[in-house]
C-alpha cells in the first residue's frame, strides 16, 4: 500500500472558514475536494503539503446547479455525477453530460468536483475545455473578498491557476443565449483513461447562420481551453462540412501536442482536426437547424 508522508488535516465548515485557514497556513496548505488527483500525488509523495483542508463539508453551500434564462451557475463543489445526471443542465449545455460520461469512472465521478477539476489545471482534464468552449467565468473568493476571472485567464499553465494566496474557486458561471447547442468528442485508449485528445464545441445559430462558437481542447497543449479564431471563422456562415473542416484546421494549427504513451504528436493533431469536425457537426445538428 502506498501511504503519504505525515500531514495535518482540518475539515472546513464554511467557505469563510476554508479561506481563513488558507490565509493563515499559506502555501503549505492545500484544499482537498474529491481528492482523486491530490491523494494519489500524496501517496506517491509527489507533493510537499503540510496541511490538508477538507472542503467536502461545503457541498451544501457550494454544490448546486442553478439554471436561469440567461445564465447557469454551478457551485465549485458540484460533483461530476451531479453534472452528469442534471437534466436541466443537459437541456442547456448537452456538452456537460457528454463529457462526464467519459470522465474517469463512477467512483471518481461520485467524489470529484467541478472546482477541483478546474483548479488542478491539468491540461488532460476535460471540464476545463468544456468551460472554455462555453465562455465560462470563474468566481473566486479570498480574504479580501470576491472577484471574477474568465476561464481563458484562469489557467496560467499546466497545474497553475490565477488563484491568489488564500483564494478559492467558489462558482462557475456560464452565459446562456438562445439558439445554442454543444457537443463533446474524446478519444481514449481505454474507458477511464485520460484523453488522448478531446474537443468541446459550443455553437449558436440564428436564421440558419452561425452567430457564435467556442472550442476547447483537452490534452493537446498547455493553453487550449479555448481556441482563438474559431468564432471569427464561423460567424455569419451556414453550417457545412467545409466549415467544420476549416474549424478543424484552425484547431489543429492552434494545438501543441507532445508525443507520449497516449500517442504521437502528429496523431493527436490529426485527432483534434477530426474531433473538431465531429463535435461541430453534432452541435449544429442539435440546434435543430443544421
Partner 1 sequence: MTAVHDDKPLGHGRMLRKEDPRFVRGRGRYVDDVRLPGMLHLAILRSPVAHARIVSVDTAAAEAHPKVRAVVTGAGLAEQGLAWMPTLSNDVQAVLATDKVRFQGQEVAFVVAEDHYAARDALELIDVEYDVLDPVVDARTALAEGAPVIRDDLEGKSDNHVFDWETGDEAATEAVFARADVVVTEDIVYPRVHPSPMETCGAVADFDPVEGRLTLWSTTQAPHAHRTLYAMVAGLPEHKIRVISPDIGGGFGNKVPIYPGYVCAIVASLVVGKPVKWMEDRSENLISTGFARDYVMRGEIAATRDGRILGIRTNVLADHGAFNAQAAPSKYPAGFFGVFTGSYDIEAAHARMTAVYTNKAPGGVAYACSFRITEAVYLVERIVDCLAHELEMDPVELRSRNLIRPEQFPYTTKTGWVYDSGDYEPTLREAMRIAGYDALREEQAEKRARGELMGIGVSFFTEAVGAGPRKNMDILGLGMADGCELRVHPTGKAVVRLSVQSQGQGHETTFAQIVAEEIGIPPDDIDVVHGDTDNTPFGLGTYGSRSTPVSGAAAVMVARKVRDKARIIASGMLEASVADLEWTKGAFAVKGDPERSVTIQEVALRAHGAGDLPDGIEGGLEAQVCYNPENLTYPHGAYVCVVDVDPGTAQVKVRRFVAVDDCGTRINPMIIEGQVHGGLADGVGMALMEMISFDEDGNCLGGSFMDYLLPTALEVPDWETGYTVTPSPHHPIGAKGVGESATVGSPPAVVNAVVDALKPFGVRHADMPLTPSRVWDAMRGRARPPF
Choices 7-15, 143-151, 210-218, 263-271 (CB under 8 A): range interacting with partner 1: 263-271
Closest residue by Cα to residue 36 from 96, 105, 95: 105
Q: How far apart are CA 154 and CA 162, in angstroms?
A: 5
- For partner 1, which residue of 33, 271, 280, 283 counts as binding (CB under 8 A)? 271
Distances (CA, A) of 282 to 106, 151, 183: 25, 24, 6
Choose, by CB under 8 A, the member of 262, 269, 281, 282 that binds partner 1: 262
Q: Is 87 in the site for partner 1 (CB under 8 A)?
A: no
Q: Give the Å distances, CA to CA, from 288 to 28, 204, 205, 208, 210.
A: 51, 11, 9, 10, 13
Cell of 47: 507533493
- The correct pick among 9, 70, 87, 191 for binding partner 1 (CB under 8 A) is 191
Per CB under 8 A, the list member of 22, 196, 247, 250 interacting with partner 1 is 196
Residues in the chain: 290
Q: Is 263 in the site for partner 1 (CB under 8 A)?
A: yes
Q: Which is nearer to partner 1, 67 or 102 (CB)?
A: 102
Distance set, CA 186 to CA 7, 157, 273, 275 (Å): 37, 22, 12, 7
Stretch touching partner 1 by CB under 8 A, among 48-56, 59-67, 81-89, 183-191:
183-191
Nearest to partner 1 of 3, 87 (CB atom): 3
Residue placing its CB nearer to partner 1 in the complex, 208 or 264: 264
Nearer to partner 1, 80 or 268 (CB): 268
Residue by residue, DSSP assigns 60-129 as: HHH--EEE-SSEEEEETT-BHHHHHH-HHHHHH-HHHHHHHHTSS-HHHHHH-BHHHHHHHT-TT-HHHH
The position carrying cell 488532460 is 124
Nearer to partner 1, 180 or 263 (CB): 263
Cβ neighbours for 100, distance < 8 A, ≥ 6 positions apart: 80, 81, 83, 84, 109
Q: How far is the CB of 40 from partner 1 (least distance, A)?
A: 8
Exactly one of 7, 51, 64, 267 binds partner 1 (CB under 8 A); which one?
A: 267
Which range in 8-16, 142-150, 236-244, 264-272 contacts partner 1 by CB under 8 A?
264-272
Considering only 85, 206, 212, 274, the residue that binds partner 1 (CB under 8 A) is 274
Question: Is 6 one of the binding residues for partner 1 (CB under 8 A)?
Answer: yes
Give the closest residue to 81 by CA, choosing from 56, 110, 59: 110
Interface residues with partner 1 (CB under 8 A)? Answer: 1-3, 5-6, 44-45, 187, 189-194, 196, 261-264, 267-268, 270-271, 274-275, 278
Amino acid at each position: 500500500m502506498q501511504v503519504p508522508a505525515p500531514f495535518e488535516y482540518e475539515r472546513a465548515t464554511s467557505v469563510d472558514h476554508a479561506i481563513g485557514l488558507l490565509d493563515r497556513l499559506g502555501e503549505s496548505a492545500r484544499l482537498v475536494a474529491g481528492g482523486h488527483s491530490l491523494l494519489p500525488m500524496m501517496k506517491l509523495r509527489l507533493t510537499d503539503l503540510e496541511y490538508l483542508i477538507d472542503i467536502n463539508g461545503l457541498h451544501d453551500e457550494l454544490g448546486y446547479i442553478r439554471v436561469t434564462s440567461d445564465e447557469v451557475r454551478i457551485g465549485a463543489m458540484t460533483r461530476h455525477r451531479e453534472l452528469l445526471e442534471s437534466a436541466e443542465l443537459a437541456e442547456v449545455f448537452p456538452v456537460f453530460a457528454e463529457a462526464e460520461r467519459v470522465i474517469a469512472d463512477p467512483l471518481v465521478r461520485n467524489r470529484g468536483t467541478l472546482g477541483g477539476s478546474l483548479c488542478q489545471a491539468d491540461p488532460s482534464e476535460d471540464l476545463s475545455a468544456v468551460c472554455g468552449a462555453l465562455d465560462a467565468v470563474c468566481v473566486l473568493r479570498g480574504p479580501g473578498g470576491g472577484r471574477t476571472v474568465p476561464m481563458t485567464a484562469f489557467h496560467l499553465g499546466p497545474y497553475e491557476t490565477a488563484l491568489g494566496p488564500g483564494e478559492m474557486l467558489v462558482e462557475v458561471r456560464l452565459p446562456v443565449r438562445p439558439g445554442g447547442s454543444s457537443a463533446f468528442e474524446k478519444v481514449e485508449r481505454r474507458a477511464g483513461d485520460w484523453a488522448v485528445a478531446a474537443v468541446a464545441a459550443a455553437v449558436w445559430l440564428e436564421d440558419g447562420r452561425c452567430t457564435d462558437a467556442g472550442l476547447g481542447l483537452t490534452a493537446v497543449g498547455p493553453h487550449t481551453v479555448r481556441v482563438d479564431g474559431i468564432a471569427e471563422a464561423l460567424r455569419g456562415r451556414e453550417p457545412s462540412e467545409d466549415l467544420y473542416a476549416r474549424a478543424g484546421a484552425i484547431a489543429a494549427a492552434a494545438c501543441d501536442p507532445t508525443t507520449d504513451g497516449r500517442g504521437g504528436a502528429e496523431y493527436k493533431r490529426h485527432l483534434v482536426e477530426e474531433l473538431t469536425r465531429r463535435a461541430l457537426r453534432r452541435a449544429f445538428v442539435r440546434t435543430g437547424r443544421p
